[in-house]
Amino acid sequence: MQTFSTNPGKALSTRTGKITAVLTVFALALFSTVSYIQSRPEIPTNLAAYYAQQLQWQSCYENYQCADLLVPIDYTELKTGTFQISVLKYPTMGEKKLGSLIVNPGGPGGSGVDYAYAAEYLFNPAILKAYDIVGFDPRGVGRSEPIVCLSDNELDANYASDSKPDNEQEFTRTLIESKKFIQQCEEKNKHLTSFSTANAARDMDILRQVLGDKQLNYMGKSYGTFLGTLYAQFFPDKVGRMVLDGAVDPTISNFQQALTQAIGFDKAFVAFAADCNTRSDCPLPADKTAAIDEMKKILSQVAEKPNKRLSESLVLFGIASALYDSATGWPKLRAAITEVKKSKAGKFLELADDYTGRIEDGNYTTNEFDSGAIIDCLDFTDARSVKQMKEDSKVFAEQAPLFGPYLAYNGLVCQYFDTPQATEVVPTKTANPVVIIGTTGDPATPYEWAQGLHKILTNSVLISLSGEGHTGQGQGNKCVDGQVDDFYLENKTPMRTTCG
């Protein structure tokens, strides 16, 4: 079973995962270090008690503070019990504190704890003086009641497995693996239908209250924009200074989401190929169709004769990983293509491992694959049958010849997971304007999604960044970064809606 979705890692879809190389290092540090011991707080007996709890902050990781937040497993049946949510704070040293700024890097499955750990690299010093930067691992993710379905060896096999079934035998194998994955998840995890992003948004409001903030100040990237959108719908009067960057449009169908993303990645590859042909070390032909054909040829050759553990799917993960960031990723992709033409797998494996969170010893640093697949199923229901998905795969191949065939079966595992009805997103007006950022060449969250979300959040402001890569804030564009900083620091609504 191959889940091709959108977070950095586990399936192309709406995820981020590609925060920065330095953040990956931080994530490893957090997973390998235990510097505080947290006792479980008293369990609340009603929802008001959850909101009234006090976080027991303890020093951790030198300059940070850690705590555990209790939230209901089931908001409709509080007697079901509690989940314990991991929270990390980078406390401000400034004298004039504006409150807390909660951050989420995307996913589903991305760790907000790891993201907040990189606070000094995410925001300028003025923001750090004004806000406590707070990250939490959403339920099911990282250190917060993690969903675990597969072992590291099983993850290796899954990531490397055939995500583009070309015949009935391969398609049947894909169905069997998909069903097996859900069975393993259900056998190894309790309360599996309680891990939705809708519930995570409700958790975030409890966190807001216990942090002492009257309104939520929030930075959500990629899939983190969906978390912010649901929060805005549930608690419109509690929205403070909210920025949603690399937006997800939650109103379009699963089919349209996957197809739009496949087209987005194809366009990003064409942009890469055009830039590549301005370089002396370019391994691709100049014509864009010929460049795609050359890449498809490489994928087919690897499928027929894998090199070491490099498979066809891992090559595609490597391409996707590089397309998230044109500045650092494109040079790596040129080198990887050059190498693989010489039957060398190393650089493509490095790119793929960066995408999936696999480290040199064969272990995975996150549970993003397992949690992402389950949360995706809970968040977005798909009424299509397996037969219809198979028919739709032809459209994917026609409109996105490189990535389309691999993304056509995105969400197939959900056919075997009996989920409750997903939350319907409706037009919402929040107490304060929401800032949405869309990058025109974003492969993972296409620009059209930002336009769609702009219509849903009716008093939002859309900043359109002309460029390549995933998300816009923190990429060095002064127009975007300056307006975001002014929004957080002075509550100035952005006036420049187009940045180049």
Sign of CA pseudo-dihedral 318, 286, 475, 11: negative
Q: Half-sphere exposure (CA, 13 Å, Cβ side) for 306? A: 12
3-class SS at 425? coil
Cβ-based burial of 281 (10 A; exposed 0-12, middle 13-18, buried ≥19): exposed
Q: Kindly state the tokens that stand for 462.
A: 């859309």
User: How many Å apart are CA 332 and CA 348, to the nearest integer?
Assistant: 9
Distances (CA, A) of 305 to 298, 301, 311: 10, 6, 8
Q: Which amino acid is at 275?
A: D
Separation CA 287–CA 439 (nearest Å): 25
Q: Are 202 and 91 in contact (CB under 8 A)?
A: no
Is residue 404 within 8 Å of residue 396, measured between CB atoms? yes
Contact 352, 318 (CB under 8 A): yes
Alpha carbon 98 to chain centroid, angstroms: 28
Catalytic residues: 222, 442, 470
Burial category of 270 from C-beta neighbours within 10 Å (exposed 0-12, middle 13-18, buried 19 and up): middle
Q: Is 229 helix (H, G, I), strand (E, B) or coil?
A: helix
- Bridge partner list, 100: 132
Tell me: cis bond preceding 108? Omega within 30 of 0 counts: yes
Q: Would you say 258 and 408 are in contact if contact means Cβ atoms under 8 Å apart?
A: yes
Q: Which residues contact 331 (CB under 8 A, 6 or more apart)?
A: none
